[in-house]
Amino acid sequence: MKKRGILFILLLLIFVSGCGIKRDNGEVTINVYNWGEYISNGRDGSLNVNNEFTKETGIKVNYTTFQSNEELFAKLSSGGANYDVIIPSDYMISKLIENDMLHKIDFNNVPNYNMIDEKFKYLDYDLNNEYSVPYTWGLMGIFYNKSLVDEKEEQINWDILWNEKYKGKILMFDNARDAFAIAHFILGNSINSKNENDWYNAAEKLKQQKPFVQAYVMDQIFDKMANEEAALAPYYSGDAVLMKKSNSNIGFVIPKDGTNRFVDAMCIPKSSNRKSEAEKYINFMCRTDVALANVEYTGYSTPHKEAYNQLDESVKNNEIFYPNADIINNTQVFVNLPSNINKLLDELWIQIKTGGNGNPILLLVILLTFVLLYILVLLYKRKKLR
Amino acid sequence: MKLFSKIYTFLIFLFLYAPIFVLITFSFNDSKSRSVWAGFTFKWYNQLFQNQEILNALSNTLIIAVISALLATILGTVAAVGINSSKKWTRRIIMNVTNIPMANPEIVTGVSLMLLFVFINRSFGILKPGMTTLILAHKTFCLPYVVLSVMPKLRQMDPNLYEAAQDLGCNPLKAFFKVVLPEIVPGIVTGMMMSFTMSIDDFVISYFTSGTTQTLPIAIYSMTRKMVSPEINALSTLLFGIILTLLIAINLRQIKDKNVKER
């Protein structure tokens, strides 16, 4: 009995440690970190991109997903994870470059890069075009319900989200960078302003909007708009197809005040020790059929010239996904903010959402109450035990 | 009064189970929407078994849950036996120390474990964040629950039983396995089940200690910028079904055992 017990524990330990080792010794595996639901995965007969890559190169893909750029940054900077390919958005890329956290990509190993449209090279977040390969892009705009909103499409601009008429029917980004961008557009400031006053003004604007806002949400926008619980919601152009499918009354406008153009691009973090495999993966993602499968699956726009050519005519000519040059020229791209502005942004956003400054005294009182309660319980217990 | 108590019970069950029934219903919904019913379909179940990402996350989660529950159960039971037979004050102090991880906010546990793992990894080159660290982390926060559920069983037990077994010729280890263990098995099973479920749905601690390994809760959370796929509803329905069957099976067995004993 004794022996069997020990043997069992030993076996378990071997099994547990084996789990860790197995991954290092076997075939080559690269760790890919992407947005959730952001790659063609074989659903509904689409191409299963990661499987295809493994089939062709023998390199296994450990594909994992994140929900926000900030989450990705936290993960990378904690030093707890070695990713080989990551797909952050514009401003996060510039932040990663500033923090020296990205490898320069050797474009000789990414021949398919020449199929990427010139418009997507040398962008503000990667001025020397050394660190990133664009994956998808899109615009921020307003989803509205045609039967609930009186204004015509061409009348809709960002200020409609401040219209008291639609009180309780407006949804807003639960994401500081995007929410502030909208306020900046109305005020006519740069969304990357380095002037603290601009940010205070934008926060003031957002505070004015708060009474009319039903909720600060992200993915719940889909359901709330589909059920007509809400009439107006800013979101990303790539989700227009899905949104319109769920409710035919829903339309999408790109406001004339200008909007944000975001680019999600592939990068290789410094912590990666499989750079050449990572470049192979990036090159694979830039192959026409793969790029095409990905944009067809995600619904976002592609920076890939060949993939664009092969798209359905109805998508190609759709102003939502591929707007004309005038609209594009009226857009701004996010870049990383100086650290003082970033800090201010966090503070202001918390103020807006919680409706004021955090009160340290209140916090102290709450803490003390808990400690007191705990002591009381302990005293009571001791009394009872005696 | 009787009617009132019935209504009350009904309401309690309604609040407990309504969300699960909604989820089960929508796993058969022929549309991505989480609120509009568009017809009956099995397509999400079909797609679930083709979605490598979800299946991978699920298998990671299950492996971690099983191993960490087993480890926590073994360590916790041994610890409980030790704590139970130590002196009063030692016992109290150790019990309080064991309870701290439970009262500690998960985020504190998560961050501190992450720092520890990263530190060990940097200085000794072992314990790369991933499956192993996840198992260690889960085992850590499951341990107190096992201790807590085994302790009462040990205290209920007549301490003389163990001595009697030794008087009758058992060595201490044999006495433990023959006499003590069968008495505390219900506590051990409860502890293990609790560890298992806690491990499956843990998000915060896993989030900090996962490295490049993705567990199911993290995979689901990452879908929320777009839309959580209904495949998750299908998966949750299956998990709920499996756990329900398991629980019913265990309960049935216990009832049967009781009947046998009573005869």
Asked if residue B261 has pLDDT above 80, the reply is no
Q: Say if A287 falls within a structural domain.
A: yes
- Interface membership of B174 toward A (CB under 8 Å): yes
For residue B51, what pLDDT band results from cuts at 50, 70 and 90?
confident
Question: Is residue A286 pLDDT above 50, yes or no?
Answer: yes
Minimum CA–CA partner of A6 in chain B: B74
Residue A300 lies in a domain: yes
- Determine, yes or no, domain membership for A97: yes
Q: State the ipTM, two decimals.
A: 0.80
CATH at residue A40: 3.40.190.10
A234 located within any domain:
no
C-alpha–C-alpha distance, residues A112 and A283, integer Å: 6
Interval B224-240 mean pLDDT: 84
Residue A364 is assigned to a structural domain of this protein = no
pLDDT score for B263: 61
**B31 and A CB contact within 8 Å:** yes
Residue A5 has pLDDT above 60, yes or no: no
Instruction: Identify the pLDDT of residue B121.
Output: 87
Structure confidence at residue A8 as a pLDDT band (50, 70, 90): low
pLDDT at position A26:
57
The reply to whether A282 falls in a domain is: yes
pLDDT at A324 over 60: yes
Identify the pLDDT of residue B256.
79
Instruction: Give the mean pLDDT of B238-263.
Output: 80
- The tokens for B120 are 């060990």
Residue A310: the pLDDT is 93
Domain range spanning residue A303?
27-137+264-325
Query: What does the pLDDT look like over B85-118, one tens digit per residue?
Result: 889 899 999 998 888 888 888 899 999 999 999 8
Q: In this model, does residue A19 exceed pLDDT 50? A: no
Q: What percent of chain A is predicted at pLDDT more than 90?
A: 61
Binary contact (A43, B51; C-beta < 8 A): yes
Q: Using CB atoms, pick whichever of A41, A51, A67 lies closest to residue B222.
A: A67
Q: How far is CA B125 from CA A62, A274, A284, B120, B140, in A?
A: 22, 18, 32, 7, 22
Please say if the pLDDT value at position A355 is more than 80. Answer: no
Residue A376 has what pLDDT?
92
Instruction: Look up residue B252 and give its amino acid.
Output: L
Q: Is the pLDDT of residue A13 over 70?
A: no
Is A312 among the domain residues?
yes
Kindly report, residue by residue over A287-323, the tens digit of the pLDDT: 999 999 999 988 899 999 999 999 999 888 888 899 9
Domains located in chain B, CATH noted: 53-228 (1.10.3720.10)
H, E, C per residue of chain A: CHHHHHHHHHHHHHHHHHHHHHHHHCCCEEEEEEECCCCCECHHHCCEHHHHHHHHHCCEEEEEEECCHHHHHHHHHCCCCCCCEECCEHHHHHHHHHCCCECCCCHHHCHHHHHECHHHCCCHHHCCCCCCEEEEEEEEEEEEECCCCCCCHHHCCHHHHHCHHHCCCEEEECCHHHHHHHHHHHHCCCCCCCCHHHHHHHHHHHHHHHHHEEEEECCHHHHHHHCCCCCEEEEEHHHHHHHHHHCCCEEEECCCCCEEEEEEEEECECCCCCHHHHHHHHHHHCCHHHHHHHHHHHCCECCEHHHHHCCCHHHHCCCCCCCCHHHHHCEECCCCCCHHHHHHHHHHHHHHHHCCCCCHHHHHHHHHHHHHHHHHHHHHHHHHHC
**What is the pLDDT of chain A when averaged over all its residues?**
88
Q: Tell me the pLDDT tens digit for each residue of A201-237.
A: 999 999 999 999 999 988 888 888 888 889 999 999 9
> What is the pLDDT at residue A3?
52
Out of A62-71, A132-141, A272-281, B35-44, which region has the weakest mean confidence (pLDDT)?
Answer: B35-44
Q: What pLDDT is attached to residue A197?
A: 94
pTM of the full predicted structure?
0.83
Q: Is B239 on the interface with A (CB under 8 A)?
A: no
Q: Which residues in chain B have Cβ-Cβ distances shorter than 8 Å to A222? A: 32-33, 227
The answer, yes or no, to whether residue B36 has pLDDT greater than 80, is no
Whether residue A357 is contained in a domain is answered as no
Is the pLDDT confidence value at A244 over 90?
no
Domain count, chain A: 1
Does the pLDDT of residue A39 top 60, yes or no?
yes
> Measured between CB atoms, which of B56, B130, B222 is closest to A20?
B130
Task: Flag whether pLDDT at A189 surpasses 60.
Answer: yes
Identify the residue whose tokens are 């000794």: B124
Residues B243-248, mean pLDDT to the nearest whole number: 84
Residue B228, pLDDT score: 77
Q: Per-residue pLDDT averaged across B122-138, rounded?
A: 88
**Which of A20, A41, A64 shows the shortest C-beta gap to B212?**
A64
